[in-house]
Amino acid sequence: MGRRDRIDPGRQHTVRREYGFEGKGLHTGLFSQILICPAAADSGIVFQRTDLSGGSNMIRAVAENVKLTERSTTLACGPVKVQTAEHLLSALYCLGIDNALIKISGDEAPILDGSAKPYADAISADGLLEQDASRKYIVVDKPLHYKDCNSDSEISIFPSDSFEIDITADYGSKVFGIQKAHYDSGMDYAAEIALCRTFCFLREVEYLLSLDLIKGGDLSNAIVVCDTPVSAGTLAHLEDIFGIKGLARVPEGYLSNVKLHFDNECARHKLLDVTGDFALAGYPLKARIEAYKPGHGINTSAVRYLREQYINSAK
Protein backbone atom coordinates (compact mmCIF):
# COMPACT_ATOMS: atom_id res chain seq x y z
CA MET A 1 0.00 0.00 0.00
CA GLY A 2 2.83 2.37 -0.81
CA ARG A 3 0.67 4.12 -3.40
CA ARG A 4 -1.83 6.81 -2.51
CA ASP A 5 -4.12 5.90 -5.43
CA ARG A 6 -5.20 2.80 -3.50
CA ILE A 7 -7.12 4.94 -1.00
CA ASP A 8 -10.05 7.28 -1.54
CA PRO A 9 -8.41 10.69 -2.06
CA GLY A 10 -11.62 12.42 -1.04
CA ARG A 11 -11.72 10.97 2.49
CA GLN A 12 -9.54 11.42 5.55
CA HIS A 13 -7.57 8.45 6.88
CA THR A 14 -5.84 7.35 10.05
CA VAL A 15 -3.85 4.23 10.98
CA ARG A 16 -5.75 1.01 11.70
CA ARG A 17 -4.00 0.22 14.98
CA GLU A 18 -1.10 1.25 17.19
CA TYR A 19 2.48 0.78 15.97
CA GLY A 20 5.45 0.85 18.34
CA PHE A 21 9.11 1.61 17.58
CA GLU A 22 12.15 2.19 19.77
CA GLY A 23 15.84 2.96 19.52
CA LYS A 24 18.48 5.66 19.80
CA GLY A 25 18.14 9.16 18.42
CA LEU A 26 20.72 9.97 15.73
CA HIS A 27 21.86 13.25 17.27
CA THR A 28 21.23 12.82 21.01
CA GLY A 29 22.11 9.14 21.18
CA LEU A 30 19.31 8.78 23.74
CA PHE A 31 16.86 5.89 23.76
CA SER A 32 13.23 6.71 22.99
CA GLN A 33 10.00 4.93 22.21
CA ILE A 34 7.32 5.93 19.72
CA LEU A 35 3.72 4.77 19.53
CA ILE A 36 1.75 5.76 16.42
CA CYS A 37 -1.94 5.78 17.37
CA PRO A 38 -5.21 6.28 15.49
CA ALA A 39 -6.76 9.74 15.86
CA ALA A 40 -10.14 11.28 15.16
CA ALA A 41 -10.96 13.04 11.90
CA ASP A 42 -9.68 16.63 11.64
CA SER A 43 -7.08 15.98 14.39
CA GLY A 44 -4.09 16.28 12.08
CA ILE A 45 -0.71 14.90 13.15
CA VAL A 46 0.09 15.60 16.80
CA PHE A 47 3.07 14.58 18.94
CA GLN A 48 2.64 13.94 22.66
CA ARG A 49 5.64 13.71 25.01
CA THR A 50 4.67 10.90 27.38
CA ASP A 51 7.81 11.23 29.51
CA LEU A 52 6.98 14.75 30.71
CA SER A 53 4.60 15.55 33.53
CA GLY A 54 2.20 18.47 33.72
CA GLY A 55 0.30 20.12 30.89
CA SER A 56 -0.85 18.47 27.68
CA ASN A 57 2.70 18.09 26.31
CA MET A 58 1.27 18.23 22.80
CA ILE A 59 2.90 19.60 19.65
CA ARG A 60 0.98 19.98 16.38
CA ALA A 61 3.02 19.03 13.35
CA VAL A 62 2.81 22.37 11.54
CA ALA A 63 5.50 24.69 10.24
CA GLU A 64 4.88 27.37 12.87
CA ASN A 65 6.15 24.92 15.49
CA VAL A 66 9.54 24.40 13.84
CA LYS A 67 12.24 25.71 16.17
CA LEU A 68 15.54 24.24 14.93
CA THR A 69 16.73 22.90 11.58
CA GLU A 70 20.37 21.97 12.24
CA ARG A 71 20.80 18.57 10.54
CA SER A 72 17.16 17.67 11.30
CA THR A 73 13.76 19.23 11.92
CA THR A 74 12.88 19.98 15.56
CA LEU A 75 9.32 20.82 16.58
CA ALA A 76 8.62 22.62 19.84
CA CYS A 77 5.76 24.16 21.78
CA GLY A 78 7.02 25.94 24.86
CA PRO A 79 9.41 23.58 26.69
CA VAL A 80 8.09 20.52 24.85
CA LYS A 81 10.13 19.47 21.82
CA VAL A 82 10.61 16.58 19.40
CA GLN A 83 13.76 16.33 17.31
CA THR A 84 14.29 14.53 13.97
CA ALA A 85 10.59 14.25 13.18
CA GLU A 86 10.98 14.35 9.40
CA HIS A 87 11.34 10.62 8.60
CA LEU A 88 8.16 9.65 10.41
CA LEU A 89 6.30 12.65 8.99
CA SER A 90 7.39 11.67 5.47
CA ALA A 91 5.93 8.19 5.89
CA LEU A 92 2.65 9.48 7.28
CA TYR A 93 2.28 12.10 4.56
CA CYS A 94 3.20 9.94 1.58
CA LEU A 95 1.07 7.01 2.73
CA GLY A 96 -1.93 9.35 2.94
CA ILE A 97 -2.43 9.54 6.71
CA ASP A 98 -4.28 12.70 7.71
CA ASN A 99 -4.72 12.06 11.44
CA ALA A 100 -2.49 10.35 14.00
CA LEU A 101 -1.37 10.80 17.59
CA ILE A 102 2.35 10.15 18.01
CA LYS A 103 3.25 9.31 21.60
CA ILE A 104 7.00 9.68 22.17
CA SER A 105 8.99 9.09 25.34
CA GLY A 106 11.99 11.32 24.66
CA ASP A 107 13.41 14.39 22.93
CA GLU A 108 14.24 12.68 19.64
CA ALA A 109 12.58 10.10 17.41
CA PRO A 110 14.67 6.93 17.03
CA ILE A 111 16.79 6.87 13.89
CA LEU A 112 16.08 3.14 13.32
CA ASP A 113 17.87 2.20 10.06
CA GLY A 114 18.25 5.81 8.92
CA SER A 115 15.19 5.74 6.66
CA ALA A 116 11.39 5.74 6.85
CA LYS A 117 11.16 2.07 5.84
CA PRO A 118 10.25 0.62 9.28
CA TYR A 119 7.30 3.03 9.56
CA ALA A 120 6.14 2.55 5.97
CA ASP A 121 6.43 -1.24 6.04
CA ALA A 122 4.46 -1.61 9.27
CA ILE A 123 1.64 0.72 8.28
CA SER A 124 1.45 -0.46 4.66
CA ALA A 125 0.98 -4.07 5.76
CA ASP A 126 -2.40 -3.21 7.33
CA GLY A 127 -3.64 -0.44 5.07
CA LEU A 128 -5.36 2.68 6.37
CA LEU A 129 -8.63 3.28 8.16
CA GLU A 130 -11.00 5.46 6.12
CA GLN A 131 -12.83 8.09 8.18
CA ASP A 132 -16.22 9.69 7.79
CA ALA A 133 -14.85 13.10 6.87
CA SER A 134 -13.86 14.83 3.67
CA ARG A 135 -10.15 15.39 3.11
CA LYS A 136 -9.05 19.01 3.14
CA TYR A 137 -6.32 20.01 0.69
CA ILE A 138 -4.12 23.02 0.19
CA VAL A 139 -4.69 23.65 -3.52
CA VAL A 140 -1.88 25.80 -4.89
CA ASP A 141 -3.35 28.12 -7.52
CA LYS A 142 -0.37 30.31 -8.32
CA PRO A 143 3.39 29.79 -8.51
CA LEU A 144 5.31 30.48 -5.31
CA HIS A 145 9.07 30.83 -5.10
CA TYR A 146 11.28 30.79 -2.02
CA LYS A 147 15.04 31.41 -2.07
CA ASP A 148 17.54 31.20 0.78
CA CYS A 149 19.31 34.56 0.80
CA ASN A 150 22.41 32.97 2.38
CA SER A 151 22.84 30.29 -0.27
CA ASP A 152 21.71 29.32 -3.75
CA SER A 153 19.07 26.92 -2.45
CA GLU A 154 15.62 27.44 -3.99
CA ILE A 155 12.16 25.93 -3.73
CA SER A 156 9.41 26.61 -6.26
CA ILE A 157 5.79 25.50 -5.82
CA PHE A 158 3.45 25.28 -8.78
CA PRO A 159 -0.24 24.44 -9.29
CA SER A 160 -0.96 20.76 -9.97
CA ASP A 161 -3.90 18.36 -9.81
CA SER A 162 -1.91 16.07 -7.51
CA PHE A 163 1.25 16.02 -5.37
CA GLU A 164 4.59 15.64 -7.08
CA ILE A 165 8.13 16.69 -6.32
CA ASP A 166 11.49 16.93 -8.08
CA ILE A 167 14.72 17.63 -6.23
CA THR A 168 18.27 18.37 -7.29
CA ALA A 169 21.06 17.74 -4.76
CA ASP A 170 24.52 19.19 -5.34
CA TYR A 171 27.30 19.33 -2.74
CA GLY A 172 30.18 20.18 -5.07
CA SER A 173 31.45 16.61 -4.69
CA LYS A 174 32.93 14.59 -7.56
CA VAL A 175 31.76 11.38 -5.88
CA PHE A 176 28.24 12.57 -5.13
CA GLY A 177 27.92 14.51 -8.37
CA ILE A 178 24.60 16.22 -9.13
CA GLN A 179 21.83 13.82 -8.13
CA LYS A 180 18.15 14.15 -8.99
CA ALA A 181 15.09 12.36 -7.65
CA HIS A 182 11.36 12.39 -8.39
CA TYR A 183 8.25 11.38 -6.49
CA ASP A 184 4.56 11.59 -7.28
CA SER A 185 1.47 10.15 -5.66
CA GLY A 186 1.24 7.36 -8.24
CA MET A 187 4.58 5.85 -7.18
CA ASP A 188 5.16 3.15 -4.57
CA TYR A 189 6.58 5.23 -1.72
CA ALA A 190 7.48 2.23 0.44
CA ALA A 191 9.53 0.57 -2.31
CA GLU A 192 11.06 3.62 -3.99
CA ILE A 193 11.59 6.34 -1.36
CA ALA A 194 11.00 5.13 2.21
CA LEU A 195 13.98 2.72 2.26
CA CYS A 196 16.53 5.41 1.34
CA ARG A 197 18.86 6.13 4.24
CA THR A 198 20.38 9.27 5.64
CA PHE A 199 23.89 10.17 4.55
CA CYS A 200 26.85 12.36 5.39
CA PHE A 201 30.33 13.08 4.06
CA LEU A 202 33.35 11.52 5.74
CA ARG A 203 34.78 15.01 6.26
CA GLU A 204 31.72 15.82 8.39
CA VAL A 205 31.81 12.82 10.72
CA GLU A 206 34.43 13.94 13.22
CA TYR A 207 33.17 17.55 13.05
CA LEU A 208 29.63 16.40 13.91
CA LEU A 209 30.96 14.25 16.72
CA SER A 210 32.80 17.29 18.11
CA LEU A 211 29.46 19.17 18.19
CA ASP A 212 27.86 16.33 20.14
CA LEU A 213 25.75 15.46 17.10
CA ILE A 214 25.27 11.97 15.56
CA LYS A 215 25.67 10.37 18.99
CA GLY A 216 23.27 7.70 17.82
CA GLY A 217 25.08 7.08 14.55
CA ASP A 218 26.71 3.67 14.34
CA LEU A 219 27.38 3.48 10.59
CA SER A 220 24.61 0.91 10.18
CA ASN A 221 22.08 3.69 9.62
CA ALA A 222 23.98 6.07 7.33
CA ILE A 223 25.65 6.25 3.94
CA VAL A 224 29.10 7.86 4.20
CA VAL A 225 30.40 9.65 1.09
CA CYS A 226 34.22 9.77 0.74
CA ASP A 227 35.39 12.48 -1.66
CA THR A 228 39.03 11.34 -1.54
CA PRO A 229 40.93 8.13 -0.75
CA VAL A 230 40.82 7.21 2.94
CA SER A 231 43.99 6.32 4.84
CA ALA A 232 44.31 3.10 6.79
CA GLY A 233 44.70 5.17 9.96
CA THR A 234 41.42 6.99 9.38
CA LEU A 235 39.61 3.73 8.70
CA ALA A 236 41.05 2.21 11.87
CA HIS A 237 39.97 5.27 13.86
CA LEU A 238 36.40 5.01 12.52
CA GLU A 239 36.33 1.29 13.29
CA ASP A 240 37.32 2.10 16.86
CA ILE A 241 34.73 4.89 17.26
CA PHE A 242 31.84 2.90 15.85
CA GLY A 243 32.88 -0.56 16.99
CA ILE A 244 32.96 -2.23 13.57
CA LYS A 245 35.68 -3.99 11.58
CA GLY A 246 36.64 -4.26 7.94
CA LEU A 247 35.79 -0.75 6.76
CA ALA A 248 36.98 0.24 3.30
CA ARG A 249 36.29 2.84 0.63
CA VAL A 250 34.50 1.11 -2.24
CA PRO A 251 35.35 2.13 -5.84
CA GLU A 252 32.12 4.17 -6.13
CA GLY A 253 33.42 6.47 -3.37
CA TYR A 254 31.39 5.36 -0.34
CA LEU A 255 32.34 3.58 2.86
CA SER A 256 31.66 -0.13 2.75
CA ASN A 257 29.42 -0.10 5.85
CA VAL A 258 26.26 -0.20 3.68
CA LYS A 259 25.33 -1.16 0.12
CA LEU A 260 23.36 1.39 -1.87
CA HIS A 261 19.75 0.56 -2.76
CA PHE A 262 19.86 2.97 -5.73
CA ASP A 263 22.59 4.91 -7.52
CA ASN A 264 20.82 8.09 -6.40
CA GLU A 265 19.85 6.88 -2.93
CA CYS A 266 21.24 10.05 -1.32
CA ALA A 267 19.05 12.26 -3.52
CA ARG A 268 16.05 10.05 -2.77
CA HIS A 269 16.73 10.51 0.94
CA LYS A 270 16.85 14.28 0.45
CA LEU A 271 13.46 13.94 -1.25
CA LEU A 272 12.25 11.91 1.73
CA ASP A 273 13.32 14.78 3.99
CA VAL A 274 11.52 17.32 1.80
CA THR A 275 8.27 15.36 1.93
CA GLY A 276 8.59 15.08 5.70
CA ASP A 277 9.11 18.81 6.02
CA PHE A 278 6.24 19.60 3.61
CA ALA A 279 3.98 17.44 5.76
CA LEU A 280 4.18 20.43 8.11
CA ALA A 281 1.78 22.23 5.78
CA GLY A 282 -0.82 20.50 7.94
CA TYR A 283 -2.88 19.33 4.97
CA PRO A 284 -2.14 17.28 1.85
CA LEU A 285 -1.02 19.40 -1.08
CA LYS A 286 -2.17 19.64 -4.65
CA ALA A 287 1.08 21.11 -5.90
CA ARG A 288 4.23 20.40 -7.85
CA ILE A 289 7.43 21.18 -5.94
CA GLU A 290 10.84 21.81 -7.47
CA ALA A 291 13.63 21.92 -4.89
CA TYR A 292 17.21 22.84 -5.73
CA LYS A 293 19.76 22.00 -3.01
CA PRO A 294 17.05 21.57 -0.36
CA GLY A 295 17.71 21.45 3.38
CA HIS A 296 15.57 21.51 6.50
CA GLY A 297 15.95 25.27 6.90
CA ILE A 298 14.70 26.29 3.46
CA ASN A 299 12.17 23.43 3.37
CA THR A 300 10.41 24.50 6.54
CA SER A 301 10.66 28.21 5.70
CA ALA A 302 8.97 27.54 2.36
CA VAL A 303 6.21 25.56 4.08
CA ARG A 304 5.68 28.34 6.61
CA TYR A 305 5.37 30.81 3.72
CA LEU A 306 2.92 28.42 2.00
CA ARG A 307 0.75 28.29 5.14
CA GLU A 308 0.83 32.09 5.38
CA GLN A 309 -0.55 32.30 1.84
CA TYR A 310 -3.24 29.62 2.13
CA ILE A 311 -4.06 29.05 5.81
CA ASN A 312 -3.15 31.89 8.14
CA SER A 313 -4.09 34.68 5.71
CA ALA A 314 -7.67 33.36 5.67
CA LYS A 315 -8.11 33.73 9.42
Cα gap 30→215, rounded to integer Å: 8
- Catalytic-labelled residue, pool 13, 27, 87, 296: 296
Helix (H) or strand (E) run with residue 266 in it: helix 265-278
Pick from 300, 298, 294, 309: which is nearest to 279 by CA? 300
Helix H or strand E encompassing 92: helix 86-95
Contact status, residue 274 vs residue 169, Cβ threshold 8 Å: no
296 is catalytic: yes
CA distance 21 to 110: 8
The full DSSP string for 162-196 is SEEEEEEEE-S-TTT-EEEEEEETTS-HHHHTTTP
Element (H, E) at 179: strand 178-184
One-letter amino acid of 87: H
Which sequence positions are flagged as catalytic? 296
